[in-house]
Amino acid sequence: MPHLSVRHSAALVLALVLALATVSLTAAHAQKPLPKVNMPKNGTLATIVREADLYASADDTSDQVAHILPGREIVVVERSGKWLRVFANTDAPDTRQSDQPVFGGQDQAQPVSGWIIDKGIVDMNTPHGDLILFGAADAAEQAAAVPDPPPHMAEEARLLYRRVVIMFPQSPWTPEAMYRAADIRWQIQKTDASTLPSAHEKANYLRELMDEDEMKDVIKYFPRTRWADLAAFDLIDNKLCGDWQGSEKCPEQEAGYYLRYVDDHPDSPNAAEALYDAAWREAAAGDMCEADGNGKRADEDRNFAHGVVTRMEQKYPDSAFTARAADMMYKVDQGIAIYGSSRE
């Protein structure tokens, strides 16, 4: 073997270290490649970041075929001056089914064909297209969070995030876009489920549950990332009782879910919140046991809550949830009920 100088040896070692670090970071970022999307053979996959009309011909005085909303899937098949001939997906939003490319699958409505002005179109070759779509999605998500938001704004944000994932799978924005799309869908379903009579059933399997597929995909494709941590936290919702119905077993069991979450995801952005949720449930169970005349079990639950709050103070001293937990336990120690009425 040829002799290497000290300088060359050091350089080789450094190169190997950097290579291993790169591999490790890549492996941590995405253990599995994202599912391959079947790209259209007759054009370029695209979307739009504005509302636009689809015309029968390349003339804005011709008949309007459809109205296209931001985030909808488009395939550009021809260009003529300022006009594009496209196939566009105009399906109504449906958060109960995973988004799939509209150009496959016989149960989906066929895309409509027409002409659209080349303005606000982002395709797979648009420079910084991933950044543009993520920014448009983020703006739509913020607009959806205000009181009385424009119709379908949350769904538009979700679809724009999905376009980042589908059109730019290698983008550094893809993990967050995948989680945000899943979370918007989750929150829409959660809100809808809360309005149903089954929301008051105690057993979780008796009520409408949120579809877990997209959250599980985040965990599958981006394990051990903050996005996987956030997705795992959302999934706890499906395990919770709909209504405790006076049973202290519900809050005690739910506290266990949150504690196991923190054990599995100690560095999660939601870790302190999960501990607070666990402590609050144990303290609430204590109030319920006290009302049932079971003072011994009430003391056990409250002592357990104290232990959880101590853990919060040691691990997450700067979290606002730790401050909230301190206030809660002060009230518990003062004999003030934190579940039910605190008035005497």
Last residue of a domain, one of 88, 105, 125: 125
pLDDT at 344: 52
The residue to which tokens 């549950």 are assigned:
209
255 part of a folded domain: yes
Domain that holds residue 109: 44-125
CA 264 to the chain's CA centroid:
19
Residue 60 lies in a domain: yes
Report how far residue 275's alpha carbon sits from residue 313's, in angstroms, rounded to the nearest whole number. 11
Residue 191 lies in a domain: no
Domain-located, residue 197: no
> Of all residues in the chain, what percent carry a pLDDT higher than 70?
84
Q: Which of 95, 125, 155 is the last residue of a domain?
A: 125
330 pLDDT higher than 60: yes
Q: Is residue 268 part of a domain?
A: yes
**Of the residues 125, 153, 170, which one is the last residue of a structural domain?**
125
Contact 76, 98 (CB under 8 A): no
Number of domains forming the structure of the chain: 2
Tell me the pTM: 0.84
CB-CB neighbours of 338 under 10 Å: 18
User: What CA–CA distances, in Å, run from 87 to 52, 74, 76, 157?
Assistant: 14, 6, 7, 21
CATH number at residue 77: 2.30.30.40
Instruction: Identify whether 303 is part of a domain.
Output: yes
Residue 301 has pLDDT above 80, yes or no: yes
- Alpha carbons 205 and 194: distance in angstroms, whole number: 14
Place of tokens 């950097």: 18
Higher model confidence: residue 250 or residue 18? Answer: 250
- Does 83 fall in a domain? yes
Is residue 33 domain-resident? no
Amino acid at 107: D
- Residue 108: pLDDT over 80: no
Average pLDDT over residues 114-139: 97
Instruction: Calculate mean pLDDT across residues 116-124.
Output: 96
Tell me whether residue 253 is exposed, middle or buried, using C-beta atoms within 10 angstroms of its C-beta: 0 to 12, 13 to 18, 19 or more.
middle
Helices 213-221 and 226-235 cross at an angle (nearest 10°) of 150
* For residue 221, pLDDT beyond 50: yes
Q: How far apart are CA 212 and CA 235, in angstroms?
A: 7
Q: Average pLDDT for residues 99-115, to the nearest whole number?
A: 61
